[in-house]
Chains A and B, each alone.
Chain A
């Protein structure tokens, strides 16, 4: 699909924790229907950025416009149009997969939630797990449930923080395919934080690279490789980090 209007516009976004500048003057935008990778090493500011884009963290300065709304002032106007999945967050462990999905469907005001849960349980191969409490699932199964929860409201904007971390290559590939299918079917925009360069290359239309809280490069994976005359995104990232004294 052809990316058109901007879903997200971030302008001069900064976050200062006491004397530590975690994110500095971040400016970028996301087009409708794009899958964008937020790349960076440990401590680059990816999770801080995602937290601000989710409304969990108040920026020190800057502007976030989401679906045309001032997200910092009135995040509740758009929260029902987005969702997220993060390894820092779990679903209630004692509740079954089906119970969790029912609760979140109601929380997001999903119409015809029974049908939606059926669809997701098929899409994410959860049919045999629906009556299992979350605490009994393997990490791969938990990730699939978290992704199903993240898609319960058919979000137009989906934020994913390393959703394939600690998963086997086949499951990771399967999840990447689900995400691409979802984008193709719904036209949703996906922001994908990761430090797995290969994965970003495979999945993302565009990359936003961060180091030490700053945006250091932006563009499509191919464009970045050409611009920096490297064979892979990983090499681009390492070269940029070396220049900036990163890692």
Chain B
């Protein structure tokens, strides 16, 4: 990476920093939703712990919520930053500048990581005094679960931003829909065998399934299964490349159709 590339990426990071600084609701929102989620599921977990303690052993519900949210937050942070450019009709300014599309991707991923950490860390820390659950006790594997899900979030974002480039803001709802499409198959709160056969067949091709199976094994049985994390990583790599392919294809198509100058609805 040369100095010009670093300069251009830092320019975009500065742009998103200025944006955040200009609006305190935006800053608050980053930490607000993960914290609200954690509190709701925390009390649900407390309630279940009286009737069905096996469901909440080791803080599994709260951990699952927090880990799943890292996927959702990374995806939303990435895609919203891109949408900001579309909402402010600034995309053409970026694409006629020396900024290369892959530098834009790298900038959005960096912003996404920063925003995800800002959102997730306070929620994870608050879970300790509120419910006596510390995801940090998972140790190094937590980093593996977290990075894998952030990676999945980026893979989805690549495809969504590509679709936004090609179809405009009319496709904005995909931003919110796509992660939830994965959720039932990802076995966030239940083991894989809970799903019917056809859903299990789909679930085994999702990186998220392996992350949550691995997390359950660690929390419930104290069993660390790095092979599950590796499977998740390989699938994520595949999805990331696929997502990048969708973005590049959509970028070319938008450039062919003249959609970059008037990106909007």
Taking Cβ atoms with an 8 Å cutoff, the residues of A that contact B are 15, 17, 47-48, 51, 54-58, 76, 79-80, 82-84, 86, 88-96, 99, 102-104, 106-109, 133, 149
Contact = CB atoms under 8 A, between A and B. Distances in A.
B7 A109 contact: yes
B98 A109 contact: yes
A76 B103 CA distance: 12
A142 to B, nearest CB: 12
B18 A76 contact: no
B3 to A, nearest CB: 8
A107 B258 CA distance: 23
Contact of A104 (B85, B89, B93): B93
B96 A79 contact: yes
Q: Is the interface of B mostly helix, strand, loop or mixed?
A: helix
Interface residues of B, number: 34
B192 to A, nearest CB: 45
A15 B12 CA distance: 32
A229 B4 CA distance: 53
A69 B4 CA distance: 20
B255 A56 contact: yes
Interface string B12-30: 1011001100110000000
A96 B21 CA distance: 11
B50 interface: no
A10 B6 CA distance: 33
B260 interface: yes
Contact of A108 (B88, B95, B98): B98
Contacts of B15: 92, 95, 99, 103
Nearest to A79: B98
A95 B19 contact: yes
